[in-house]
Amino acid sequence: MAEYKKPLPAISTLNQPYWDGLKRRELTLQHCNECGKIWYPPAPFCPVCWSRNFAWQKLSGRGKVNSWVVFHQAYFSSFRDNIPYNVAEVELEEGPRLLTNLVAVDNDDIMIDMPVEIVFDDVTDEVTLAKFRPARKP
């Protein structure tokens, strides 16, 4: 595997299950066993009812583009070779929104509400990132 030179996530005991799920090719987020809320980013309690009674739930990995931007300047030198690159907010079918990159699509073809599905990018032996591509027809 080639050396990954971009910033890596700060993995903690709070978010470790999220990163472990991506490594297994699963998108998992916290689900409140009291009120049913699914949320991101990880937190030690439900952001709706404040319950600490939650579990990590496997999600569909499907969603839609809520917003995006295309960067034409490298604010970090490690992104220089990727200019222009996109950063998108994807709203998952289950509700939470993730910041991510869209792949397998030209930046000019990205649209609001475009259906997308997760892809898993193994950037190091330890870290897999969640990225999204246009959803394939069933």
> Domain-by-domain residue ranges, the chain?
13-59, 60-138
Confidence bin at 47 (pLDDT 50/70/90): very high
Which one, of 84, 92, 128, lies nearest residue 110 by Cα? 84
**Percent with pLDDT over 70 in the chain:** 99
pLDDT of residue 44: 98
Residue pointed to by tokens 């699914």: 38
Measured CA angle at 21 (ends 1, 120), to 5 deg: 45
The CATH architecture to which 60-138 belongs is Beta Barrel (2.40)
Give the mean model confidence (pLDDT) for residues 33-39: 98
Question: For the segment 80-103, what is each residue's pLDDT rounded down to a tens digit?
Answer: 999 999 999 999 999 999 999 999
pTM passes above 0.85: yes
Q: Which of 67, 97, 68 is nearest to 85 (CA)?
A: 68
pLDDT of residue 88: 98
- d(Cα 43, Cα 23) in Å, to the nearest integer? 20
| pLDDT-derived band at 137, boundaries 50, 70, 90 | confident
Phi-psi region of 95 (alpha: psi -120 to 50; beta: other; left: phi over 0): left
Q: Beta strand pairing status for 38-39 and 54-58?
A: unpaired
